[in-house]
Amino acid sequence: MNPTQKIIIGFLSVVACALVAFVAYTGLQVYQSYAQQPLGPSIPQQFTPLALPATWTPTRGTPDSSIGAVTLAPTMETTSTNTPTPICGGVGVINLLVIGADSRVDNYEYGLADVIRVVRIDYAFRRVTVLEFPRDLWVEIPYIADNLDGQDHEKLNQSYLYGQPGDGFGYWDDPSAGPGLLALTLNRNFGVVIDHYISVNMRTFVHVVNALDGIDLKVSSPTYADNTGLPMGVHHLNGDQALKVARRRNEGVFARVDNQNLVLCAIRKKITSPTVITQIPDLVASFQDNILTDLSPEQLSQLACLASQIPPGNIGFAAFPQELFKSTRIFDPVFDKEVFIWDVDNAVMREYVSRFHSGTWPSPVTTNPAEDEETEVICE
């Protein structure tokens, strides 16, 4: 090989390396752009800015020590000035609206919000708190009056249905549809501020649990045995069985909330197991077309990362005090009959929500499940 040939080959090698670097860089940029794109329409601007009161006192005589049910282990307070650096690439705190729709099909054209949870996710203090909203709250739903002859109040779970496009609903034009209208309804009535949402229907829930090869549900007390209909012990459940437990309400609607929390704990434990956690990106990819969410692939990866690093005791399930809810019936012009609802003082609910957003309610407490099995669900 003469000197000229060596120069030409050297030059071509440099060009080839440059092309490879350019393609790799361009591919990375394209991937990063894709990873940061929301998988669905974002929710619109909400009505109530997140403004927290300087002081707060429960107004129905509920002592702070008995506020709701929570299973949070002691950890650093979020009000500390020494805030740790968020992990997993997260951005501090986000509020996620999680919806379990009662439709049994693969699409999201219709369906009521069977499960409504607001999840406060703190990447700095590695804490997750889940707040349940009863679906039978009688609330003002924006944008529906023109379609219902002036009727602007319905049950909370119907706000999701009225925003969905199927069956002649779609009572507002925003692309976020049911999740967006539910988020605005929570905001207007209770001051809830939502950053993102995830909606899962029943069929997808079953498929997800089956894709995990089932979950192991621990029934640790006679109360949970009554609630779930399962004897005490550990039970391996497939998707249909897990759904049956999550929807069971033989012991009442508040017992069903406990059932759902038990199932969520079991799912969390399964997805953070060594055999599953490496499969999470593939699982997310396989189900992203069957779940409604405005999270991006990058944000979903951040949540998966946090799930693998958060201490089980830092996962809390909060509930409003049951004494706030008064069962009653009200005439519903849409159905032309009286319907069951929960009557609450919205101002009191807003106070709890405000503290929930600030991270000051529920307060981290040391729990002993043997002493309070009826009110606490623990993610072990």
List pLDDT tens digits, range 331-373.
Answer: 999 899 999 999 999 999 999 999 999 999 987 544 443 333 3
Whose CA is closest to 121, among 304, 251, 296, 267?
304
Please state, in angstroms and rounded to a whole number, the distance separating the CA atoms of residues 53 and 78: 16
Q: Is residue 154 situated within a structural domain?
A: yes
CB 168 within 8 A of CB 149: no
Q: Is residue 249 situated within a structural domain?
A: yes
Higher pLDDT, 8 or 141: 141
Triad 317, 319, 321: Cα angle to 5°: 150
Q: Is residue 280 situated within a structural domain?
A: yes
pLDDT at 168 over 60: yes
Q: Is residue 299 situated within a structural domain?
A: yes
Q: Is residue 150 situated within a structural domain?
A: yes
Over its C-alpha atoms, the chain yields an Rg (Å, rounded) of: 24
pLDDT in tens, 99-136: 999 887 666 787 899 999 999 999 999 999 999 999 99
Q: Is residue 25 situated within a structural domain?
A: no
Q: Is residue 278 situated within a structural domain?
A: yes
Please state, in angstroms and rounded to a whole number, the distance separating the CA atoms of residues 349 and 187: 11
pLDDT in tens, 33-56: 557 888 899 988 776 654 444 444
Please state, in angstroms and rounded to a whole number, the distance separating the CA atoms of residues 162 and 178: 7
Q: What is the mean pLDDT of the chain?
A: 80
Range of the domain at 197: 36-358
At residue 55, the pLDDT reads 44
At residue 8, the pLDDT reads 59
Phi/psi at 117 (nearest 5 deg)? -130, 140
Domain CATH code at residue 240 = 3.40.630.190
Helix (H) or strand (E) holding 95: strand 93-101
State the pTM of this model. 0.77
pLDDT in tens, 51-108: 444 444 444 434 343 334 443 333 333 444 578 999 999 989 999 999 999 887 666 7
Percent of the chain predicted with pLDDT > 70 = 76
Q: Which residues lie across from 338 on neighbouring strands? A: 331
Q: Is residue 107 situated within a structural domain?
A: yes
For the chain, what is the domain count? 1
Give the pLDDT band (50/70/90) at residue 379. Answer: low
Give the pLDDT band (50/70/90) at residue 139. Answer: very high
